[in-house]
Every structure is written in structure tokens, then in C-alpha cells.
Amino acid sequence: MTMPLTEEHMAPMFRSAFGRPYRHSTSCGSTQDQLLDSDPEGTVAVCEEQTAGRGRRGRLWAAPSGRALLASIVLKPPNERPAAQLTLLSGVVVAALIERELCVPVGIKWPNDVLVGNAKVAGILAEQRGAAVMLGIGINVNQTADELPGDARLPPTSLRVLAGRPFSRSELLAALVEELETTYRGWAERGLSVVSDELAHRDVLRGERLEVGAAAGVGAGIGSDGALLIETTSGLEAVVAGEVNVTW
Ligand code: BTN
């Protein structure tokens, strides 16, 4: 039985400003909808189970109760910072956190998939609401192999499957919130350059054959603005949004 991530349990574990206020429910539709754009920056919502958890591009995000980390956080980025970069920024934070736990390389498939090998361990969903961005993070933590979704676009995995042992979700959540705050504040001041080296090093699409919409070619990195660069037969193309199909 895993310990629920109640406010009583989590409040003493948050070491910086983010994580207050904190909203926890046993079950909700989506943590994204537990937050309002009038909530202060850094408000966090966590549910043990989501009945309508969502991924990018209208997909479902499903996990059995109490196994995954299902969290959303309110951010209010400065006007000059493109909110789309928050997906990449938080992907880097999540990847670094998981890498530290597992001691295996963790990659990012632009723009929002966090991978170990070619298996997905976490995903990010940034939704703009007024001046706020609801940043949703789903990390597969303690699911066993048969609890992972069978119909996923990328093969799913979890920390537990990868390491052969369960993890403390509360420690992961506290570290995630703190590290996200630090990286976010750096980005708000200085832009995506705060993670560009790490993003380049985690980019699993570089050098791979890709297709995104009409663009096809070889992954050529991530631009300084966060666009996916593809070397096509007619030159370098920058893709700002889309679904990447890759032939590994
Ligand atoms: C994706 O990989 O497509 C994004 C997945 C994002 C899932 C998280 S779980 C917490 C938050 N609430 C949601 O409904 N979605 C995000």
C-alpha cells in the first residue's frame, strides 16, 4: 500500500515557495482542472487517480490509483518567454530527476516525452489558461509491468519496472517541485539557454530519420527557441509544433 500524497504528508517536505497552496484528492478528473488561473504561481494539485487524465493531442493518460505521480502546477511566465518552452524546460527537470534515481541515461523526445531507451517513463502537458500555464507532469513511478497502458504510442515503462523496486513518490514530488522552481526562475530571467546544453545532450531525435507533418529528414537538434530542427533535402527546417514519427 503506498502512502497517499496528502497535504499533511507533503507540506513539511516542500523546501521552497512552490508547493503552496497544495491540493490533494484521492480521485479527480484531471489534475489540470484542479487549478485556476487565479491561483498563485506555484500552486500544486496532485491526485492519486485521474478518471480523465489527458496527454498531448487529445490522448488519455491512465494509471492505477496511488502508483504514478500525477501533478499539475500553476506557472505565470513573463510575457517575453514563450510558454511552449516550458514543456522542454520541465522535461529536462524530470529527466534529470529520474536519471539521478535510476543511474541510467534519460532522454527527451521533443517536445514532451521522457524516455529510458525508447520506453516512455514520463510525459508533460502544458496548457495555457489566460495568463497562466497549467503544467501537468505524469511520471510512471510504481506501476508494475502489467499495470502500464497496453495501447500506448511509445512502449511505456516505470521507475519500478526499470529498477526492480518501488520508489517514494513523496520524495520524488518534493524534489520535482523544488528543482522545477529553480529551473523555471532561471528560465524566466535568462530564457531557454539555462537548459540548452542539457537539452542537446538528452535529445534522442538528433541524427535519427524523422517525419513531422510534411517535413521529413534527419533530426538536427533543438534550436535556441525550442523548435525541432530537421535537415531535409531542401535545407534546415524548424518545426514549432507537431507529432514526430521516428524510425529508431
Ligand atoms: C503526454 O505525454 O502526452 C502528457 C502526459 C501528461 C500527463 C499528466 S498526469 C498529470 C497531469 N494531468 C493530466 O490530465 N495530464 C497531466
Residue 32 Cα: closest atom of ligand 1: 12
Q: Which of 110, 116, 133, 135 is nearest to 125 (CA)?
A: 135
- Which residue's C-alpha comes closest to atom 15 of ligand 1? 54
Identify the DSSP state of 41.
T
Ligand 1 center to 73 CA (angstroms): 12
Q: What is the pLDDT of residues 2-51, one digit of tens each?
A: 899 999 999 999 999 999 999 999 999 999 999 999 999 999 999 999 99
- Which residue's C-alpha comes closest to atom 7 of ligand 1? 138
- Which residue's C-alpha comes closest to atom 16 of ligand 1? 136
Query: Residues lining ligand 1, judged by CB closer than 6 Å?
Result: 30-32, 50, 53-56, 59, 61, 70-72, 112-113, 123-125, 136-138
Q: What is the pLDDT of residues 168-178, one digit of tens each?
A: 999 999 999 99
**Measured CA distances, 107 to 20, 41, 66, 175 (Å):** 30, 28, 25, 19
Residue 181: band (very low, low, confident or very high) from pLDDT cuts 50, 70, 90: very high
Ligand 1 center to 207 CA (angstroms): 28
- Which residue's C-alpha comes closest to atom 3 of ligand 1? 55
State which of 137, 141, 158 you would mutate to test the pocket of ligand 1, scoring each by most atoms of that ligand within 8 A of its C-beta: 137
Ligand 1 center to 236 CA (angstroms): 31
Identify the DSSP state of 151.
T
| pLDDT score of 1 more than 70 | no
**Whole-angstrom Cα distance, residue 128 to residue 146?**
34
Ligand 1 center to 201 CA (angstroms): 24
| pLDDT score of 127 more than 90 | yes
**Whole-angstrom Cα distance, residue 99 to residue 200?**
16
Residue 58: band (very low, low, confident or very high) from pLDDT cuts 50, 70, 90: confident
Residue 61 Cα: closest atom of ligand 1: 7
Q: What is the pLDDT of residues 73-121, one digit of tens each?
A: 999 999 999 999 999 999 999 999 999 999 999 999 999 999 999 999 9
Give percent of the chain with pLDDT exceeding 90: 95
- Which residue's C-alpha comes closest to atom 2 of ligand 1? 123
